[in-house]
Amino acid sequence: MSGNGLNVLVVEDDDLLREALCDTLAFAGYSVEFACDGVEALALLHRQSVDLVVSDVQMAAMDGHALLQNIKRTWPRLPVVLMTAFGCVEKAVEAMRDGAADYLIKPFEAEVLIAMVSRFAPTKGGSASSEMIAEDPRAQQVVELARRVAGSDATVMLSGESGTGKEVLARFIHDNSSRSDGPFVAINCAALPESMLESILFGYEKGAFTGAHQARAGKFEQAQGGTLLLDEISEMDVALQAKLLRVLQEKEVERLGGKAAIALDVRVLATTNRDLRGEVNAGRFREDLFYRLNVFPIALPPLRERQGDILPLVRRFVDEQSAEGQSVSVSARAEQMLQAYAWPGNIRELHNVVQRAMILISGDSLTEADIHLEDPGSNLSPLPAGQTSGTAVESLDGSALENDLRSHEQQIIVDALKAERGRRKETAERLGISPRTLRYKLAKLRDDGIALPELYGT
C-alpha cells in the first residue's frame, strides 16, 4: 500500500469487526495498529506513537470513554474518534464534550469510516490523493475557476452530486491560496445532531451546559488564519443557520456560555449536493445565508460527464492500492468496461470498485474478471467462475460484515418508518436520532434504491 502519512490505532473488542475495520483502512492506504480493549490500547500508546485513535465505546476492562479520558490526560493533542451504537446520540455528545474529535454511529459504511479518517490526514505538501485529476475539458474548466478564486478570500459554494470530489476541490482551493500555511478544518453539517453541531462549530466555555467540564475552541477558532469547510451545509437546521449568518456577517464568534466576541480571520467554503436555490424556495434554507455563501459558485460535473478523467483516476487509485515497488497495469477490456459504466456514485464509487478489484487481482494486471460493478441494471458485471449472482456482491465486496451492517441499519430505519406510519418526526424519536440525521439517512436509502413507506411530517 502507498502510505499517506497517517498511522491509525483501531480499538475494538469484536474480532471480526476489528479485522474488517483494519482491512478497510489498510486498503485505503493508512498504516494501522490495533488493540482489543482500552488497556491494551494504552500499553501500545506508551510503546509507539500514532496519529489517530478510532475506538469502540462498549468494551470490557476499559471502555471507550475511560480510554478517551486517559488519552487526553497523557496525550492531549491526540485525536480520538469514538464508535457508538445506533441511537446512543447522548453518549456521543458527552464524548465530544470530553474531548473526542468526532464520533461514528454504528452501523456505518466503509466509505464513511474512510472519509472520517481522511479528515485527520496531513494536507500540507499536496499528497497524491489530494491532487486534482483534471484531464477532461469540463474538469479543467472547473479547476481553472478554482485556481483563480483561490487567490481571493471570497466565499465559495461547491455544488455537485455525492462523490464528485467537492472536498478535494475545497482542499485544492486552500492549498492554492495565501492561507495554505494555515489550517484546513472541515465539519460535516449532516453528520452531527443539532444539539452538538452548534457547540462544535462555535465552541463553548466551561460550565456552559451540563457536562462542559472544560472550555473548548470551536471549528471557527481552530481554522484561524486558514480555511473552514462547511460540508453539506444544506443539512443545517434553519435555527442554526441564523447564528451562522451572524458569525459570517460580523466576522467574529462568541463561544456558548462566553461573554467576549472572538475576532475571526477565516476563509469559508461550503458544499452541497442539493439544489440550494430550491431549498430556499421550499423554506428549508435561509435566503440571506444563501447569498452570503454563494458569492462564487462552482458546480462539479458528475463523473459520467467528464469521461476523460475516468482512466486517470483509475491509474491513481491502482497506484494507491499497489504494494510498494509493484507496477500494476490495466487491461484494454477493463478500461473499456470502466469507461462504459455510468458511475451513479461518481468518483467515490470508482474508488470502491478499484479497491475491490485490487483485492481480487492475481498477478500484475487488472482485468475485466477483477471488476465488479454494483449497479444491478448494468450488464457489465462479470462474475468469477463458479459464482452465482446471489453471492457475488457479498463475496466480491471484501467484507461481508460491512454489507450486513449496512443492510441491518437500512432495515431498522424502514421498520421504524412503518411502525410510525411514515411520520418522520416520530420515527427520528423512535430511533434516537435528530430529524436532520434521519433526512440524511433517508436520502441515502433513496440513492441506494430502497423502497420507503409514504412519508408524512417534517
Kindly report the number of other CB atoms within 10 A of residue 221's CB atom. Answer: 18
Tell me the C-alpha distance between 69 and 28, whole Å.
Answer: 29
CA 384 to chain CA centroid, Å, is 31
- 180-202: average pLDDT: 83
Residue 227 has which C-alpha cell?
480555511
Tell me the C-alpha distance between 11 and 36, whole Å.
Answer: 6
pLDDT on residue 196? 77
What is the tens place of the pLDDT at every residue in 72-92?
A: 888 887 889 988 875 555 666
Tell me the C-alpha distance between 390 and 437, whole Å.
Answer: 32
pLDDT bucket at 211, cuts 50 / 70 / 90: low
Fold agreement (7-118, 128-301): yes
> 219-223: long-range contacts at Cβ-Cβ below 8 A with a sequence spacing of 24 or more?
219/185, 219/187, 220/247, 220/253, 220/264, 220/266, 221/253, 221/262, 221/264, 222/183, 222/185, 223/182, 223/183, 223/184, 223/185, 223/266
Written out in words, the top-level CATH class of the domain with range 128-301 is alpha beta
What is the tens place of the pLDDT at every residue in 313-365?
A: 999 999 888 877 778 999 999 999 999 999 998 998 998 889 888 888 888 89
**Alpha carbon of 326 to those of 2, 32, 103, 314: distances in Å?**
10, 20, 35, 16
Average pLDDT, the chain: 82
pLDDT on residue 360? 81
Examine the pLDDT at 42 and tell me if it is beyond 50.
Answer: yes
What is the tens place of the pLDDT at every residue in 119-154?
A: 776 544 344 344 678 999 999 999 999 999 999 999
Predicted TM-score of the model (pTM): 0.62
Strand partners, 156: 269, 296
pLDDT bucket at 401, cuts 50 / 70 / 90: very low
Examine the pLDDT at 221 and tell me if it is beyond 70.
Answer: yes
pLDDT on residue 48? 85
Give the three-state DSSP class for 276. Answer: helix
Written out in words, the top-level CATH class of the domain with range 7-118 is alpha beta
Examine the pLDDT at 99 and tell me if it is beyond 50.
Answer: yes
pLDDT on residue 126? 40
Bigger pLDDT: 332 or 445?
A: 332
Examine the pLDDT at 429 and tell me if it is beyond 90.
Answer: no
Tell me the C-alpha distance between 316 and 347, whole Å.
Answer: 12
Cα pseudo-dihedral 101, 448, 373, 407, rounded to 10: 70
Question: What is the fold of 304-398?
Answer: Helicase, Ruva Protein; domain 3 (1.10.8)
- In the chain, domain spans: 7-118, 128-301, 304-398, 402-447
Tell me the C-alpha distance between 335 and 310, whole Å.
Answer: 9
pLDDT bucket at 94, cuts 50 / 70 / 90: low
